[in-house]
Amino acid sequence: MYYYPYVNRYLEFYKYSIENLENFWAFQASIIPWFKSWDKVLESNHPFYRWFVGGYLNASYVCLDHHVENNKKDKVAYYWENEVGEKEIISYYELYTRVNSFSKFLKDLGVQKGDVVLIYMPLIVDAIVAMLSVVRLGATHNVVFSGFSKNSIVDRIEDSNAKFIITATHTYRRGKKVDLLSTIKEIDSQSVQKVVVLDREGNFVEDGKFVKWPENLEFAYTEPVPVESTHPLFVLYTSGTTGKPKGIVHSTGGYLVYVACTLRWAFNVGDDSIWWCTADIGWITGHSYVVYAPLALGLTSFIYEGAPDYPDPSKWWSLIEKHRITEFFTSPTAIRMFMKYDLEFIRKHDLNSLRMLGSVGEPINPEVWEWYYKNIGKSKCPIIDTWWQTETGGFMIAPFMGIIPLRPGFASLPLPGILADVVDENGNSLPPNTKGYLVIKAPWPGMMMGILNDDEKYKQTYWSKFDGMYYPGDYAIRGEEGYFQLLGRADEVIKIAGHRLGTTEIESAILENDFVAEAAVVGVPDEVRGETVAAFVTLKQGINKDESLKQLIISKVREIVGPVVVFSSIFFVDKLPKTRSGKIMRRLLKSIIIGKELGDVTTLEEEASVEEIKKAYEEVKQSIS
């Protein structure tokens, strides 16, 4: 336990926030500039909550114009570098001019309020310019991680009805050029009217709907379109337990207020900060804490396009030294990867500029926490373990400014305004130190507005398990002092290197191989990535259980979902365990893989003898060991 003296002050502040929820958030909302103040702080039409209703603002104005008008013109917004040695230093004014000019270009192409623009770009300044230009016009962006492949993009275009795509010719990863444009070119979509291409090498040729992002655009002031607080700022797809990834829709007003407040509350960032969040803009962490929160607060950030340990494992640490990073925010997977390397890669760099360290995306095990604290933070930087989700918009549970006692492996206490609890299957609060389901019992401004085109699924997924409570899908324990420890997903979501994937998504991709009859996948613990995938596959009649088919399965999944899916093993079996209603019992498969007792098997379908299935999996178990 690391002792800090301000706990009671925090608890008082927290108590006030919960007891005066609407007043509290109304007060916090002035953290960003509004064109018109709201008429109502919160409109509750359970489970649809709307924040700052009647208020008007524009996210691009909040992030740029406001700072340019308030003495931050010359402040650096981003230092950017990539692994091939390219660099950029962008002030708020430069970013403002680039966004204005590119907005004008997009406007001339026909982009307007209400449109959805899909962005498929690497972590470069232009990607941020693209996001801000879209929202300047009142349009909504749909950023797709550049590691996703064609089918994932097609699904997102169709579901969000994207009319425009902004992409780049390629990105760089571990010394290789990764082509992005050819992936986009394979897509044949009626709804897409234009594709804007950032030409990074000067050999792109315009062709039909593929137009070039003009170089050296002349400055053209473009009026930021005032939008309602509840106007969708973006839609971001994330995986759930069933079906295809769902489009999580975030508001403009509530979301911006929430991400700005939470970044300040968690990391105590200030005007002298050089903030580095290592996430890609394709994920919620990138949206909230690479783009919107740091810009809303007028901070200086560093961003990097490339792999963490390329060309050698000292890369990140050399960048921290070079840019004098003050707050550093990354994932447990990245930390676990660095733990494998010689400490010399770290020791040869001066990391003294660091004040705070952060962790996000998966549970951070206490040994990893301690390693990070000692070797990167030199036992002087608080570790801010932030629990949250795509759906929550921003941090929910995290040690406020690092001023409360830290506990390795615990995300600690909820942030102000967040009423969290751990409950049993019936929704009753559990006593301390008992594993249960994490729930959130009061609305907060960063909460999603819903799932695009699917109100039913929104209600079903998040609000039906427990009456009146938001159910995020995580297991948790509450310690004696009210500290929360997050224990991973309670549903069938798999987290590979912090990337969220649904079992159905992967299984559907496996089924695309015409030799496969059925497939079931489970997440299995992995030392570095947190989890990887174990697949159980039955083959169609007459097909031999040939090892070479496994490679075909892997390639197909990578082609359809993307290289983010990593398999630990694929097993060919004769039968999958199912319930009497035909549902695959993945729980059983997981127990077998991790060597746990099978537990209750009474719901297995009648015709399949339990013994037979146990025997079949015994064989699988032996083949693993």
Interacting residues with ligand PRX (CB under 6 A): 238, 284-285, 359-363, 385-390, 411, 472-474, 486, 488-489, 495, 500
At residue 73, the 3 state secondary structure works out as coil
Least distance from ligand PRX to the Cβ atom of residue 361, Å: 4
DSSP strands (E only) in 219-263:
227-228, 234-238, 246-250
CA angle 374, 377, 379 (to 5 degrees): 50
242-278 in b/e burial notation, b at 16+ Cβ within 10 A?
eebbbbbbbbbbbbbbbbbbbbbbbbbbeeebbbbbb
Shortest Å, Cβ 485 to ligand PRX: 9
Nearer to ligand PRX, 388 or 567 (CB): 388
Q: Give the nearest distance from C-beta 329 to ligand PRX in angstroms.
A: 11
CB of 532 to ligand PRX, least distance (A): 16
In angstroms, give the least distance from the CB of 257 to ligand PRX. Answer: 18
CA 39, 41, 44 angle in degrees (round to 5)?
Answer: 110
* Per-position DSSP letters for 427-467, written without gaps between them: SPBPPTT--EEEEE-S--TTS--EETT-HHHHIIIIISSST
Yes or no: say if 586 and 599 are a contact pair by the CB < 8 Å rule: no
CA distances from 223 to 38, 54, 58, 260 (A): 21, 20, 10, 23
The residue among 227 and 263 lying less far from ligand PRX, judged by its C-beta, is 263
Q: In whole angstroms, how close is the CB of 428 to ligand PRX at the nearest point? A: 22
Q: Which is nearer to ligand PRX, 100 or 359 (CB)?
A: 359
| Rounded least distance, CB 300 to ligand PRX, Å | 23
DSSP 392: T
Nearer to ligand PRX, 197 or 279 (CB): 279
Residue 376's Cβ-count burial label (10 Å; 0-12, 13-18, 19+) is buried
Ranges of beta strands (E only) in 28-75 are 40-45, 48-53, 56-57
528-547: b (≥16 Cβ within 10 Å) or e: bbbbbbbbbbbbeeeeeeee
Amino acid occupying residue 527: E
- State the nearest-atom distance from the C-beta of 282 to ligand PRX, in Å: 11
Which residues pair with residue 212 across a beta bridge? Answer: 197
Task: Considering the complex, state which of residue 268 and residue 333 has its C-beta at the smaller distance from ligand PRX.
Answer: 333
Tokens 């998040």 found at: 462
Nearer to ligand PRX, 93 or 371 (CB): 371
Least separation, in Å, of the C-beta of 288 and ligand PRX? 8
Q: Of 111 and 269, which CB lies nearer to ligand PRX in the complex structure?
A: 269
> Are the beta carbons of 257 and 235 closer than 8 angstroms?
no
Those residues whose C-beta lies under 8 Å from the C-beta of residue 509, and which sit 6 or more positions away, are 151, 556, 557, 560, 561, 565
For ligand PRX, give the closer residue by CB, 421 or 474: 474
Determine contact, residues 364/336, Cβ cutoff 8 Å: no
Q: How far is the CB of 473 from ligand PRX (least distance, A)?
A: 6
Compare residues 100 and 288 and give the one whose CB is closer to ligand PRX: 288
d(C-alpha 305, C-alpha 84), whole Å:
9
Alpha helices of 467-609 — where are they, by DSSP H?
A: 503-511, 548-560, 586-594
Q: Which is nearer to ligand PRX, 242 or 389 (CB)?
A: 389
| Other beta carbons within 10 Å of 218 | 8
Q: Which is nearer to ligand PRX, 67 or 264 (CB)?
A: 264
User: Could you tell me the smallest distance in angstroms from the CB atom of residue 283 to ligand PRX?
Assistant: 6
